[in-house]
A and B are shown apart, each in its own frame.
Chain A
Amino acid sequence: MSYIIITASSDKTSEQRCKDISETLWTLQRPRAIRHPRDVTNRFCGIVVHNDNRAALTINEYDIIRLHAQLDTTELFESMPEYTDEKKALVSTLLAENQGGSVIVSEILPDSFVYTTHEEMEEDGWFPDTDI
């Protein structure tokens, strides 16, 4: 398992940004417009929170996201200001070409995101539950 630590923004905590990104990734697979009112699932990946309030997405570089034919990229780009214009264009093309199919998650996330291993996270003070 690997992780992506998400920095806080001026108006959102790291944890809130993680939740937003996880929800946004889920909209690629299950767009809000086609969801049933009784749908329960609303996030793609898990979140871990450090004692110092940093939060990280629990996500593997090669996790697969299935893409709905009616997906909309607006929310995706709004949730991650880390996207460069060049990457936005690449991702838009990739998603359009693969609607109804699937993509590898690392191909559509911003290039500045860093995948951190479990061991590296532990060394950085994450997962204190191992000491209970």
Chain B
Amino acid sequence: MLGLGKSLLRTVYTMTDRQKVLAAINSRAQNILSAFSSRVEEDGGEVENPSCLTSSLKDLITGSDSLLIDRYASPAAAYSLRKLRRDYLGPAIRVRRFVDAEELDIFFDSAGNLDTASLEAFCAGTDGYVSVWYDQANGNDAEQTTTAHQPQIVSSGTVLDIDGNSAISFDGNDELIVNHADVYGQTRLDIYMHYQSSDDTLIMFSDTSDGGRYSFVIGNSSTSTTLSGSYGSPNLYANGTQVSITSGVTTRDDLHTALITNAASTTAGTLEVHENATTSSWPNFGISDYGVTFRLIGKIAETIIFNSDQSANRTGIETNINDYYNIY
């Protein structure tokens, strides 16, 4: 009993101490940035992008063990099969195994990757489906309560993947619902996602009513220039390069070429970014949810949703994701 008490005390002390260290690192980065900016301006120069510099400084000071959310602003929701925040101690996903409908939370291993050993042991040679993709930032979990719409993570005992990294497979009839107001009803969303797909028709995000509120529409051979609905006019990036969009000219087929043919259909998949989107009029938020035609056939490894301007951090966030997944 006494030993357990000592152990708990040590854990509490360590966490408190680490928080102090993180605060000191942030403070120190700000001080270095401030001194650097002052000196540049004294010399008649201009600090063009100070927030990126702050991130770079924090990276240098904190070292390689700080994770994506530790380095950048906290997202509204962060779904991934790798650990994104060092202090996150929760599970990555909740999995239902086909054979007996038992469900189990699957966590991360010591390296911060999905604990595939536990997952494969749980599924024991059968199939596994995702009922919850846990949000590592705010508890805004993405859920699916209907078996027929749950995406798959294990097939015949083997964890599915994109180029060796665990990924969740959507079969064109699957969807995950994010019923949290940090994500819908927002004036600004910056969304980062890593996925792989050769789908012809696809809408990645929408509200669940099929009521004309949806993100970019990808349509192979479609000449329609209606590219989104009640989603604002976001910038679109694929593998770090901006996809040029001209209103009334760019077609759904153009998006298919840029996002699927030249990006997501490759072995490594793609890193796609929607920057400065809006969900102001959306009553909820679904991943791969629009109707029956536009749901994703493909795999998703990570989706990070910010409800704040991350344009200054975009390159850094893209680099973090690409460094892990080796996409492009």
Contacts and interface: CB of A to CB of B under 8 A. Distances in A.
B149 A40 contact: no
Contact of B145 (A41, A59, A118, A127): A41
Contact of A127 (B100, B103, B143, B293): B293
B277 interface: no
Contact of A58 (B100, B143, B148, B293): B148
A132 B217 contact: yes
Interface string B280-299: 00000000001111100000
A17 interface: no
Contacts of A68: 101
Contacts, number: 70
A66 B126 CA distance: 14
Contacts of B144: 40
Contacts of A42: 145-146
Q: Is chain B's interface secondary structure helix, strand, loop, or mixed overall?
A: loop
A46 B147 CA distance: 8
Contacts of B291: 127-130
Nearest to B293: A130
Interface stretch (A7-15, A22-30, A75-83): A22-30
B214 interface: yes
A43 interface: yes
Interface in B145-204: 145-150, 173
B290 A41 contact: no
A1 interface: yes
Interface residues of B, number: 29
A96 to B, nearest CB: 19
A40 B145 contact: yes
Interface in B201-250: 210, 212, 214, 217, 226, 229
A40 B103 CA distance: 8
Contacts of B212: 132
B226 A132 contact: yes
A44 B146 contact: yes
A29 B101 contact: yes
Given A46-B146, A127-B291, A132-B217, A41 B103 contact: yes
B148 A44 contact: yes
A42 B94 CA distance: 14
Given A38-B103, A129-B292, A44 B147 contact: yes
B293 A129 contact: yes
Interface string B101-129: 11100000000000000000000000000
B101 A66 contact: yes
A132 B219 CA distance: 11
Contact of B294 (A44, A59, A129): A129
Interface in B265-321: 290-294
A41 B226 contact: no
24 contacts: A1-B173, A1-B292, A22-B146, A29-B101, A36-B102, A40-B96, A40-B131, A40-B132, A40-B143, A40-B144, A40-B145, A41-B150, A42-B146, A43-B145, A43-B147, A44-B146, A46-B146, A48-B292, A59-B148, A68-B101, A127-B293, A129-B290, A129-B292, A130-B293
Interface of A: 1, 22, 26, 29-30, 36, 38-46, 48, 58-59, 66, 68, 118, 127-130, 132
